[in-house]
Chain A
Amino acid sequence: MINSQIFPYLLALSAFLFTVGATGVLVRRNPLVVFMCIELMLNAANVALVAFGRFLNSEEGQIFAFMVIVVAAAEVVVGLALITQVFRLGRELDVDELSELSEETDLVTQQ
């Protein structure tokens, strides 16, 4: 069976995937890729939840991971609907260009 020595590595994998996802959200400009990176972060949280549940002999980690999957599905539905609407408005798919809701002094033109 699974050696319990691997538990710290599972937590490290979870932290790694979460940080990669957070970096992607900050670095990438395509909103679709940004959403995929959010999915990556949610999956990283799921890995940590299931690992804790497995090594604490508890089922609750899996229940919480299930809830996280439901939340991720709902988030994708609304987010992709928003992206489609932005595309319908004829805008470029670039999160740096979408600054209609910001104030007059937007950061993009200042640079």
Chain B
Amino acid sequence: MTVLLGAAMVLAAIAGLGVVLSRQTIYSALSLVATIVMISVIFLLLNAQFLFAVQIIIYAGAVMVLFVFIIALLSPDAEDRPALDVRSVIGLIAIVAITVVVFVTARNGITFSGNTFRGQAIGSASNPYHAFSYPVDAVNASGNVQNTAGQLFTTFLLPFEITSLLLLVAVIGAVYLTRRGAQSR
């Protein structure tokens, strides 16, 4: 399982690089699909079965189909590869530096106002003062979808309703922006 997770992580990183480095827009979109599928595999291996399904259906199914549809509609030209100038070098150094800093911080720990946070400590110990502590066995016994839905419709009911309002606003905004009368001039 850990080997599978590591393979999915490596593939997600490579495909994520492909999104930025591809010259053709459609190749960027396909790389993003690969990244999303690999991230969904990571979700599945991290006991987030509901998010696995949502990631496949919403992202790879709906969002990326919309992207590919718009790419086919607009058929943008291939973009010149950005030249390897000072900005690109700074960007590459930033990518490597931030990744290394986060990895070292998560592995070796960081002391912040007397409390030491350490990724391995988080990984090995559960959180005793946490109100909604779900051990993996309990999640597997009752089901991830049931647990998530239970949380979503009790503790997080207000944020859930706000997301429905957000989707309504997005739909109205999209219809307003793309209506035919907007360009009648």
List chain A positions with a Cβ less than 8 A from chain B.
Answer: 1-21, 23-24, 26-30, 32-33, 35-37, 39-40, 43, 46-47, 50-60, 62-63, 65-67, 69-78, 80-85, 87-89, 93
Contacts and interface: CB of A to CB of B under 8 A. Distances in A.
Nearest to B182: A85
A85 B29 contact: no
A17 B48 contact: no
A63 B10 CA distance: 25
Given A7-B106, A37-B20, A54-B47, A73 B167 contact: yes
Contacts, number: 248
B68 to A, nearest CB: 10
A8 B106 contact: yes
B20 A85 contact: no
B18 to A, nearest CB: 10
Contact of B48 (A18, A26, A50): A50
A2 B5 contact: yes
Interface SS of B by simple majority: helix
Interface residues of B, number: 88
B151 interface: yes
A54 B28 contact: no
A71 to B, nearest CB: 7
Contacts of A67: 159, 163
A82 B177 contact: yes
Interface string B50-81: 11001100110011001100110110100100
A74 to B, nearest CB: 4
A110 to B, nearest CB: 16
Given A11-B119, A15-B99, A40-B35, 15 more contacts: A4-B123, A7-B122, A16-B16, A17-B16, A19-B94, A26-B87, A43-B35, A53-B46, A57-B130, A60-B132, A63-B151, A66-B148, A69-B51, A81-B177, A84-B70
30 contacts: A8-B107, A9-B9, A9-B103, A10-B9, A13-B13, A15-B102, A17-B35, A28-B79, A28-B82, A29-B79, A30-B76, A32-B70, A40-B16, A53-B48, A57-B130, A57-B134, A57-B136, A67-B159, A70-B163, A70-B166, A74-B166, A75-B170, A78-B174, A78-B177, A80-B67, A80-B70, A80-B174, A81-B174, A84-B73, A87-B74
Given A40-B16, A54-B48, A57-B130, A20 B95 contact: yes
Contacts of A35: 67
Interface in B103-133: 103, 106-107, 119-120, 122-124, 126-127, 130, 132-133
B121 to A, nearest CB: 9
A85 B130 contact: no
A57 B127 contact: yes
Contacts of A11: 102-103, 106, 119
